Amino acid sequence: MLLVIMAAIAVFLVLQAIPALRADTTSFLTTLKWAPDGTPTSFGIAALAFGSVLTSLLALLISVPVAVGVALATSHYAPRWLARPLAYVVDLLAAVPSVVFGLWGLTYLVPNIIAPSTFLNHYLGFIPLFGSNGTYGKSIFAASVVLAVMAIPIIAAISREVFIQTPRDQIEAAWAIGATKWEMVRTAVLPYGRSGVISGTVLGFGRVIGETIAVALVLSANYEISFHILEPGGNTIAANIATRYGEAGEVGRGALIASGLVLFIITLVVNFGARAIVGKSGRGGGP
């Protein structure tokens, strides 16, 4: 049934996107411009897909270590009286509306991210990723931090549940050979929970790559491809759909649906890739 629903979604997106793609006078996959209702019609997904993938990967790079650390703390390190409330607080973050995260990012994070952005540029500016012209603010870096905060509860919750299910005999075996707490976690808990961490990461990726309002509020949107994550600019497919749909004409709406089709394909590719990885790594341990 799920496959039928996914196939129906894909067919709908394709049928709605075809008229706009036929009207496009440029290459949909490589063009940076977005003017589907202009004369001539010209739009492309290149900058939007790049921004979506870049912000999502950066968000996962920030959130996965934090989420795994929180999961380990609440499952094996913190005492029970602290672990349970801490787990509840982390889980509650998943219930916060995305617009609240966006407003937090706009009013608090963006002004206060200037100092760490300056620090990164000063000491790591030789790396293209942290290069900047000295202007900071509504950037891909800020959007990635907001998305990371949104992904943490999802990844942490799934990882925690898998870590808790680690077979007791594996833990006792580690203790029996004189392992420390960290050695026990490294040799017994983490290998068993690998598939769960991967699954949680994929769900987190699906959460952040499709985020709209939170990203739209903290990005100074443009249609350029740049690896300078500290500078204002950048855009994503989801944020572009949210900000452009209300003013789009017939061709413009078709173009936005075509970009949604690309987002749908990216998500499917990531999920199928993750299933393949889980299928291979999960055989050695994990549920």
- CATH number for position 184: 1.10.3720.10
Q: What confidence score (pLDDT) does residue 277 get?
A: 75
Contacts for 5 with CB less than 8 Å, ≥ 6 apart? none
Q: What confidence score (pLDDT) does residue 153 get?
A: 92
Q: What confidence score (pLDDT) does residue 6 get?
A: 84
Domain-located, residue 248 = no
Domain count, the chain: 1
Q: What is the pLDDT of residues 26-80, one digit of tens each?
A: 889 888 889 898 888 899 999 999 999 999 999 999 999 999 999 999 988 888 8
Q: What confidence score (pLDDT) does residue 51 get?
A: 92
Domain-located, residue 264 = no
Cis peptide before 40 (omega within 30 of 0): yes
Q: What confidence score (pLDDT) does residue 287 get?
A: 42
Average pLDDT over the chain reads: 88
Domain holding 145, by residue range, is 51-238
Pair 236, 48: CB distance under 8 Å? yes
Domain-located, residue 201 = yes
Percent of the chain with pLDDT over 70: 97
Q: What confidence score (pLDDT) does residue 284 get?
A: 43
Domain-located, residue 108 = yes
Q: What confidence score (pLDDT) does residue 281 get?
A: 61
Q: What confidence score (pLDDT) does residue 226 get?
A: 86
Q: What confidence score (pLDDT) does residue 283 get?
A: 45
Pair 232, 135: CB distance under 8 Å? yes
Domain-located, residue 45 = no
CA angle 83, 86, 88 (to 5 degrees): 110
* Burial 240-258, CB ≥16 within 10 A → b, else e: bbbbbeeebeebbbbbbbb
Domain-located, residue 222 = yes
Please name every residue paired with 43 in a beta bridge, in sequence order, or none if there are none. Answer: 34
Query: Which ranges of 24-134 would DSSP assign to H, the alpha helix?
Result: 46-72, 80-93, 98-104, 110-112, 114-124
Task: Measure the CA–CA gap between 74 and 156, rounded to whole angstroms.
Answer: 9
Domain-located, residue 246 = no
pLDDT tier, 282 (very low <50, low <70, confident <90, very high otherwise): low
pLDDT at residue 118 greater than cutoff 70: yes
Domain-located, residue 46 = no
Q: What is the pLDDT of residues 210-266, one digit of tens each?
A: 888 899 999 888 888 888 999 888 899 999 998 888 888 899 999 999 999 999 999
CA proximity to 145, closest of 175, 104, 182: 104
